[in-house]
């Protein structure tokens, strides 16, 4: 009997990505503090939160494979979060226009049956077009990306914002690097192709 799989997230984007693998799983949003620590880099923050999310569910789901993932975005030295408001989304996209933004997606898989844990970090870079204020306003009006780090959804109209994308796993940009996850699941004894 295959192990129970738990996605330590309430994100509908991560749930949709994991559904692509055709495996049964349960989602549970852990209650963790996502506040960055002083001097913590975006990559370090993504890794710490991915691990904290998975660890937070270990007592609740014994014998399960628990997947934790978190994503941060940075434009230069500026950490970009989920905007939450239209005004903040406009500010973020104005900051990003004509620049490169790097997304860091942390991944943690805990095998609660064996007590093992594996982590990885997948960076992905996006080069923005030099967008006008009107283009930014229209994009936000159409997509409402207020719950997305960096204020865009690459799986929708967000593609119109970019000059180019660079990275090994495009699913990392959405929030769950499936290539790395599949490798981790296989090492844990669960091959999505079986």
Residue 70 annotated among the catalytic residues of the structure: yes
3: which DSSP letter? P
Q: Which phi and psi (to 5°) does residue 167 adopt?
A: 170, 170
Within 10 A of 72 (CB to CB), how many other CB atoms are there?
25
42: which DSSP letter? H
Question: Which long-range contacts link 166-170 to residues 24+ away (Cβ below 8 Å)?
Answer: 166/124, 166/125, 166/126, 166/127, 167/122, 167/123, 167/124, 167/125, 168/122, 168/124, 169/122, 169/124, 170/124
Q: Which is catalytic among the residues 33, 70, 113, 147?
A: 70
Question: Which long-range contacts link 23-29 to residues 24+ away (Cβ below 8 Å)?
Answer: 23/190, 23/192, 25/67, 28/57, 28/60, 28/61
Active-site positions read: 70
């Amino acid at each position: 009997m295959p192990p129970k799989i738990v996605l330590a997230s309430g994100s509908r984007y991560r749930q949709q990505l994991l559904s692509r693998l055709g495996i049964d799983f349960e989602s549970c949003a852990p209650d963790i503090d996502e506040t960055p620590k002083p001097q913590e880099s975006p990559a370090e923050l993504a890794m710490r939160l991915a691990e904290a999310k998975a660890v937070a569910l270990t007592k609740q789901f014994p014998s399960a494979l628990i997947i934790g993932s978190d994503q941060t975005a940075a434009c230069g030295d500026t950490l970009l979060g989920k905007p939450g408001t239209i005004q903040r989304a406009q500010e973020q996209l104005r900051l990003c226009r004509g620049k490169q933004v790097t997304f860091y997606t942390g991944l943690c898989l805990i095998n609660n049956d064996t007590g093992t844990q594996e982590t990885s970090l997948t960076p992905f870079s996006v080069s923005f077009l030099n967008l006008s204020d009107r283009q930014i306003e229209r994009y936000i009006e159409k997509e409402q990306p207020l719950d997305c780090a960096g204020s865009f959804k690459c799986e929708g109209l967000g593609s119109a914002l970019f000059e180019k994308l660079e990275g090994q796993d495009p699913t990392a940009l959405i929030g769950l690097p499936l290539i790395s996850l599949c490798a981790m699941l296989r090492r844990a004894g669960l091959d999505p192709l079986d």
